[in-house]
A and B are shown apart, each in its own frame.
Chain A
Amino acid sequence: QSALSQPASVSGSPGQSITISCTGTSSDVGGYDHVSWYQQHPGKAPKLIIFEVINRPSGISNRFSGSKSGNTASLTISGLQADDEADYYCSSFTVSSTLVIFGGGTKLTVL
């Protein structure tokens, strides 16, 4: 089971917006709306920021938004802040006994 494909790194300046892509196949991202995004700061556990493509858990800023088109999901962070600097992972349900697959992760640098 191959991991979902994410860019290794993205960067942006404070106040700007960035988008991170997550590409899979019709067996995962493209076939189901079970795409999630996680933020992970160094040495910390991941934090759920988007689930089911577009939904934010309670307490997550509306600066984080998700979308999907075909086999590619995207996470957009608007109004970049210094604390947004972290690793971001997408995940998706997949049709196999391996129920969930993750992307390789994207390091966001806030310049």
Chain B
Amino acid sequence: QVQLVQSGAEVKKPGASVKVSCKGSGYTFTGYQMHWVRQAPGQGLEWMGMINPGGGRINYAQRFQGRFFVTSDTSTSTLYMELSSLSSEDTAVYYCARAHCSGAGCYQFQYWGQGTLVTVSS
């Protein structure tokens, strides 16, 4: 069965960077777009960016451009996200999600990781 297992919780100081991993199993890793979505405490979902591990296509939400990067390691079926210049506003649960692709597109997320809490505090 499809599983996405994320790395554990992180506590970072303002100005630091954080890197979160997401290991996929139970499917062909290079065959599906992977996305990152975050959720601040008590708030809604926010799309951050995506990567196509099989083809290298990458897109980032405008508000994160320049400090958010997504990479993938196909040899280990692992997705990574790195967010730099952290502030308290970046405190959130970060989810990786695998897109469900139809003939029309890949803008829906059928499988999700368990989430990784990143806390930014001095």
Contact = CB atoms under 8 A, between A and B. Distances in A.
B108 A48 contact: yes
Interface of B: 35, 37, 44-47, 50, 59-63, 65, 95, 100, 102, 104-105, 107-110, 112-115
A24 interface: no
A51 B115 CA distance: 22
A91 B45 contact: yes
Interface of A: 1, 3, 33-34, 36, 38, 45-48, 51-52, 55, 57, 89, 91-93, 96-105
Contacts of B102: 51-52, 55
Contacts of B109: 36, 38, 46, 48
Contacts of A34: 104-105, 107-108
Given A34-B104, A34-B105, A97-B59, A46 B114 contact: no
B110 A91 contact: no
B100 A48 contact: yes
A9 to B, nearest CB: 13
